[in-house]
Amino acid sequence: MPRPLTLDEIVEELETGEDSGDIILFPPDDGAVTEEESGDENEANIIHLPSRMLRSQIEIQERRSTSNENRDLADEEEEIGVTSVQKKKKKKDNTIKKWYNTVCNNFTSCGKGDCDEEVFSASRQEMSVVQCFELLYTEDIVNFIRDMSNLYALQRNHTLNVTSDEIRVYIAVLLITGYLTPKYMRMFWEVKNDTHNDLISSSIRRNRFFEIQQYLHLSDSTSLPPNDKFAKVREYFIKLNINFCSNFKKAGSSHISIDETIVPYFGRHGTKQHIHGKPIRFGYKLWSAATRHGYLVNCELYQGASGPGLKMQSELGLGAAVIIELHSRLPQELGPYNLYFDNFFTGLPLLKYLREQNVGGTGTVRENRLENCNLPNSKDMKKEPRGKLCHKASKEIITAKWHDNSIVTIASNCHALNPITKVDRIGFVDKKRAKIQVDCPAVIKMYNKYMGGVDRFDENVDSMRVGLRGKKWWYPLFAFGLDAACQNAWLIKRQSENNWTYCDFRRNVAMIYLQKYGKPLTRKSDCGLPLQIRVPAEVRSSGSADDHSQMDCSQRRCGYCHQRTRKMCGKCNVGLHLKCWYKFHNK
């Protein structure tokens, strides 16, 4: 501890004028504790200090020079600045800086531009309906279903031993339920003529059909990934998507629409979605890419917000990430493509990104996604006449608002506004409803022409959807894959023969499968045969009713009223009540 200084030594230090440091005066340690003020510090004089202060301890603490301190602070600030730049990188600014009121002369479209779709017609060869169907629902898928079903049955301590032919017969029955749906599936095997289906009942036994239905499976339940909510159908959809893309050239085109598809489901599952105002409000959501005529190129199951993220989702959002993901799955050797989507997906950063990849993109856009593109307010445009068009353009993107029945806001990186054509609408002339013509820009016309591909696919599938409802949560997705494959196969068939309807195509596939792979029933006894075959009319009506002997028997059905009885005719070998005896033998 340093030696305490005397008062004279302190005065000498102060008189030298050198800044030697801070003079610290400690309070005296004499036991006197008080809260009284010692006087005004500004009027204090070092020569007239009280004795208590003179007896206190004094030290001089050296001070760092101001120049060194400033230099150290500057170095610290520089280090903090460098580390902050390294930790936080600036995001790439995708905002379009300048918009013009007219389309720039150096605006160049991307993708296929303003051209109509390029239809891929590489395969015009003649194929049967079964060959078209088996291009998409291949033998590999059938064998996969067979193996997984047998494995699942063994895990449940049951021996199924289902074959590929039986799986095809089961699939054929499901196809029939799309256009011929009974109240109960057992009606196909009933003896009554109003619901009996001879083709089905002669191809597969009723109990065998429901046994396959009970143990049908699409995965190995013992080795499912924990983070995939659709793990039980994941491999099934991967195989279908591969087949859809590999045969895309047979019925595809260069203009693809992307939208959502709902598979109806009313049970309980964590991925079930509810979309208010849709034709199908409850079910599983899929992101789908389809051609204008409805050929499903690829689809992706949506697991909800808790599912794994897609590429570019953190930078551009979910909608844009879906567009990028589905485009990456298209056959790139057939590109470039023009993509069409609605306002859930569209954003200006997405269109800019697609342009960098030489992919055309066109979609309706929400007003809060227009960024700094100052288009007129929609409320003000509603006061303008129908056909009014307002637009802004940059070197990369064109945005426009068009007054139709309502205000339509659209953005595109591949379509321009010209030529502007006339379209028919219903309006009012002299306060009377009449057909009128309004101006329509080319970007709107191309969007309306190619956007409805997924809706066309949904319409075709929904017209003849599999009518059998299973007890497993994934069964609607299994049936959806079968319907999608059948619908795509029908479109391939129409490339060579345009006179096929979807119903005729589906019926032919079902009938050929049942006739080719169904096993005719072999009866070991007369049990179950119609009564007319078991008891010919000559035997039943031979002699009088009293000539037939009555016998006791085990419980069986009466041959006349079909109720339970313990009496039978010994000659006809048919169970009969006493009250039905004469009615049966005399009819």
* pTM (two decimals): 0.73
Sign of CA dihedral 183, 189, 194, 195: positive
* pLDDT higher than 90, residue 46: no
* pLDDT digit string, tens, across residues 135-191: 999 999 999 999 999 999 999 999 999 999 999 999 999 999 999 988 999 999 998
The per-residue pLDDT for 88 is 45
- The SS3 call for residue 301 is strand
Question: What gap in Å lies between CA 474 and CA 224, rounded to an integer?
Answer: 14
The residue with greater pLDDT, 53 or 289, is: 289
- Supply the pLDDT for residue 50: 63
Q: Cα dist. 399→276, 409, 419, 436 in Å?
A: 29, 7, 16, 26
Residue 2 CB coordination number (10 Å): 9
> Does residue 90 carry a pLDDT above 90?
no
The single residue listed with the structure tokens 């599912």 is 307
Higher-pLDDT residue of 85 and 211 is 211
Residues near 154 by Cβ (< 8 Å), separated by ≥ 6?
160
**Residues sharing a CB contact under 8 Å with residue 125, sequence separation 6 or more, in sequence order:** 496
CB 180: neighbour CB atoms within 10 A? 15
Q: What is the rounded distance in angstroms from the CA atom of residue 112 to the CA atom of residue 364?
A: 19
pLDDT at 87: 46
Check whether 49 has a pLDDT greater than 70: no
pLDDT band at residue 55, thresholds of 50, 70 and 90?
Answer: low
Residue 276 has pLDDT above 90, yes or no: no
Examine the pLDDT at 231 and tell me if it is beyond 50: yes
Q: Which of 67-71, 152-156, 335-339, 353-357 has the lowest mean pLDDT?
A: 67-71
Please tell me the predicted confidence (pLDDT) of residue 497: 86
Q: Residue 451 in 3-state DSSP?
A: coil
pLDDT greater than 50 at residue 98: yes
> According to the model, what pLDDT value does residue 179 have?
94
402 by DSSP, 3-state: which?
strand
Check: CB of residue 154 under 8 Å from CB of residue 146: no
* Contact present, 580 and 560 (Cβ < 8 Å): yes
Check residue 538 and give its pLDDT: 75
In the predicted model, is pLDDT for residue 476 greater than 90? yes
21 pLDDT exceeds 70?
Answer: no
Q: Residue 219 in 3-state DSSP? A: coil
Q: Is the pLDDT of residue 85 over 50?
A: no
Task: Give the range among 76-80, 86-90, 139-143, 458-462 with minimum mean pLDDT.
Answer: 86-90
Q: How confident is the model at residue 94 (pLDDT cuts 50, 70, 90)?
A: low
Direct distance between the N- and C-terminal alpha carbons of the chain, in angstroms, rounded to an integer: 133
Q: From the CB of residue 177, how many other CB atoms can be counted at a distance below 10 Å?
A: 19
pLDDT at 312 over 80: yes
Based on its alpha-carbon atoms, the radius of gyration of the chain, rounded to whole angstroms, reads 42
Cis peptide before 419 (omega within 30 of 0): yes
Among 20-34, 199-213, 414-428, 512-526, the range scoring the smallest mean pLDDT is: 20-34
